[in-house]
Amino acid sequence: MIKVISSKKCWQYNFSGHPESTERVKATYEFLLKHGYEISEPSPCKEKDILAVHSLSVVENVKSGGFIDGDTPNNKNMYEFALLSAGAAIGAAESALKGKPAFSLMRPPGHHAFKNHSGGFCYFNNIAIAVQHLLMLPLLKWGGIPMNNTSGFGIPTDGINPRIAILDIDCHHGNGTQDIFLGDENVLFISIHQSPLYPGSGLKSEKNCINFPIRPGSDETAYLEVLTKAIDEIMKYKPDLLAVSAGFDTYEDDPLTNLGLAKSSYGKIAEKIKETGLPRFAVLEGGYSSSLPECVLNFVSCLKI
């Protein structure tokens, strides 16, 4: 089975009426346990990991409990929860680097957090922190997996750095992740998202960021056609590892969005990701329906080796 990383500690905060609730992760955690998954406890990331992608002002604002916006409530304990969520993403990334796919089942999510500000339910950008963590590791740490942009198996040659592709399948554009990595030659960012929809960005591709906006009401067939194009772009880039911002708000009954995927669609999405043959990990983003546990189970059960 795929490695699942989560902590009951992320159930300890809640904001009344907010869709990013304790229950969505709690129910999914318990559902995966019921289906035989072992769940590993994460370690919080270090502040230096946050500062590798965010400005000091973002860190200080989250740490102090300063106001962000109505969608992104803050309190004096949010810093600890956000460190733990980012730490779980790093743990999943390191697992993938060792050849074992992993899934971070944590909250708060991250892909709307910019370099210089938080927002959209997100405090720190978990997947960006995890990807940057891998890119900053000594090259010896990359010696255990086949590398696509080298002359063979192992450490990059002639100073060539590893390459990582990020595939964002949340229904909302990963505007924060794009902001952080725009122009970075070692990262390819691809987002498949509903448009029009919050945050209103991702209408065109730019530099190393490829966007696939899709119409409201698009069904599984239409979605998988676009996903195939996205996978083709990933394979052309020849990354050494694939990171997935795994949102499940593309589900047909999600209360915040208007796409038409079924519960079974997430197994098909994971199969296409697995077919890349790339070391891979995924980090939970959105997904607000009561069917989130089943959607996640279908995804993780097909993402394994």
Residues with catalytic function? 112
Strands 3-5 and 102-104: parallel
Assess contact for 100 and 28: CB atoms under 8 A. Answer: no
172: Cβ contacts below 8 Å, ≥ 6 apart: 111, 112, 120, 193, 194, 197, 198, 199, 247, 249, 257, 286
DSSP bridge pairs for 192: 212
Residue type, 121: F
Reported for 16-23, long-range contacts at CB under 8 A and 24+ positions apart, including other chains, are: 18/73, 18/121, 19/121, 19/255, 19/256, 19/288, 20/107, 20/108, 20/109, 20/121, 20/286, 20/288, 22/107
| DSSP conformation letters of 33-45 | HHTT--EEPP-PP
Give the separation between CA 208 and CA 293, rounded to whole angstroms.
33
Per DSSP, 162 falls in state P
Tokens of 61: 């604002």
Give the separation between CA 148 and CA 75, rounded to whole angstroms.
44
Phi-psi category of 287—alpha, beta or left, where left has phi over 0 and alpha has psi -120 to 50? left
CA dihedral angle for residue 251, residue 223, residue 240, residue 28, rounded to 10 degrees:
10
Assess contact for 25 and 7: CB atoms under 8 A. Answer: no
